[in-house]
Structure 1
Amino acid sequence: MYLLYTHNDLDGVGCGIVAKCAFGEKVEIRYNSVGGLNLQVERFLEKGKKKNYLFITDLSVNEANERGIDEFVKSGGKVKLIDHHKTALHFNEYSWGIVQVEYDNGKLASATSLFYEYLIQNGLLQPTKSLQQFVELVRLYDTWEWERHGELQAKRLNDLFYMVSIEEFEEKMVERLAGDAAFSFDEFEEKILDLEEEKIERYVRRKKREIVQAKIHDHYVGIVHAESYHSELGNELGRENPHLDYIAIMNMGGKKISFRTIHDHIDVSEIAGRYGGGGHAKAAGCSMTEEAYRLYVAGSFPIEPMRADAFKNKFNLKNSEFGSLYENRKEQSLFIFNTDNGWAIDVDGSELDESFSTFEEAERHAKRHYAVWLARDEVYIGYLMEQMSARRTRSLALV
């Protein structure tokens, strides 16, 4: 008998679907949250049934279970832990650990792709065209390579996953992957996925108005409360606010925090690790510990939401040769303009000592340190008229 303990997201359930294709009714699958795995493993080790073969995928065990598994395997038990998270690399020190973050060709690995390849290499599964395509879609979505390559089918697969129960999704996929035809969605699924896409767009648009900016542990963070569509929301908020180091999404009902970043120099798995969580460099999560609650929820509660940049302007434009005007809730005016020495920032009539080589660097500084947004055209015109009037007054005073 085979046992599979795996995560309850698309990548984890992808492992379950692959296991069903390989073992049929000879496998018992249990889908777990990050916090639920260790209790399952403890119970398995207590029973000590060496005739069962345990696979653990897309999740890591704690130190106690790590020692317990190692002793169990040394005494003749059969366990394989297959994962792709950087925080799990130390399991490669054991004979029962298989952890790989990326392939030799530079592609990022997923738990589903690693498990699929393991089963094929060990003669436990016959590859098919449809199964290979399914596994690749899961990998593309879980690693976020789908966006870079424009593989919308991967995102739609994840959307479908969250629209039905795990049991229904698993049943649908196992049945669909039984043949060797190309993987595709049926007509009904295409229709409801189109509707879901519209729903996601409306949800993200609403949440954009609720994001707040805070400084936490030397990072500038965008904080928003949301229970759905974390990946889409985190990615969109990150792209619209590149001055923020990462986005933190609060799920108060689930008492969890999701972290997302678009930057290569930020590793949110390290941030999640501070609170007992983990994940990938650009997507990670943790339970809402007391410290995390204090920093991300209580600490940010009094902060007003960020204002979006004016987007219908004809005159006050970014990177303008005439300068760009920004404002904030403190009623400060920041004017970014080009000089012979680069880009400069004027704050309420006083020019900062620091200069910047590009407009983007100047804007990033202004947004991070002053929480500003691009002002509307009428404010910009009023500002320029005021500056011209002040300059004329100074000129007359010198005559």
Structure 2
Amino acid sequence: MNQHLRPEPVPFIDIAAQRRRLGKSIDEAVSRVLGHCQFINGPEVAQLEAQLAAFSGAKHVVTCASGTDALLMVLMAKGVGHGDAVLCPSFTFCATGEAVALTGATPVFVDVDEATFNIDANSLKRGIASAIKLGLKPRAVIPVDLFGQPADHDAIGAIAEAEGMFVLDDAAQAFGASYKGRRLGAFGLATATSFFPAKPLGGFGDGGAIFTDDAQLAETLRSIRVHGQGSDKYDNVRLGLTGRLDTMQAAILIEKLKIFEDEIAARNKVAERYARGLGNVVTVPRVGGGCTSVWAQYTIRLPKGCDRDGFATALQVQGVPTAIYYPKSMHQQTAYRDFPVADGGLPASETLSCDVISLPMHAYLDEPTQERVIKAVRGAISG
């Protein structure tokens, strides 16, 4: 190869490789939907819900149009609104706080643990105190299982119970991970997830789901996702949304779920290779005791003094893409900076926003390609 030619770029997330592996099964699944023409609430939707319930251990699964709708629908079902506070980590994607603000409630941002990137229990306690001082009623906490790793659900659950709050787990990035032997979907009042294409279990478009053991909540959620429908579609008993998952996405997800366990195992092998190859030059992610991760992202922290933009450029030249999740924590963003934060501020979130960077991660990242990534990272750090 001519040394002046740029190397073939490494895919950041390789959806095409998965598509090749699934072969004709997706085409056939889509074709069945095209054959029966039940594009809304076709038989595949209920079939997927049953399979997701069996996979997660949750009693009820309500699929919906996106991970954001999954969060919003639970808050709506619980009547969260003006005067209520919902505690959220600041170091996460904006959908977590956005869903709260859309109900008219106040998101109160709390800090995360620098090692796990997940919600810090002590900051959560301070956030609850801050909310009460402001005259707000703490109603719920939304822990996020960030980058594929579960939050500390025992600690969060205990704090929420002591305060009379419910827990809505945001597992948009972590469906398939487990906490102390139980898969996500079984913690708190409800769990929300996303089937956005880049997620570990992703569709070919938007989609989401809510997991709960509460039969009454599941019934309310099914009404909310169809405009608050009562006995029929012209008897609307509550405010709702157009929150359905369409049949085509359900059919695609049924096929992807069949290989999901195998893909999770492959992602963990990739994460282990990264940890071995990079653990002595950057801060690699650590999985909490008793937890497993689905590695939605492989996020490293650069050493002090390392210029992140320069590092990203050095990798780009080698054909290695990177991404920054998240260059601004939520409380630093224009739409959210006027909402309250926990007493003591959010120093860990702010520090992480300055030094994290994510590397290519997917189930089809073979060893030679990954070696290229590792070599490029080590070269950029030492250079």
Q: TM-score, normalised by structure 2?
A: 0.30
- Tell which has more relative contact order, 1 or 2 (C-alpha 8 A, sep 6+): 2
- Comparing both structures, which one devotes a greater share of its residues to strand? 1
Q: Which protein is bigger by CA-based radius of gyration? A: 1
What TM-score do the two structures reach when normalised by structure 1? Answer: 0.29
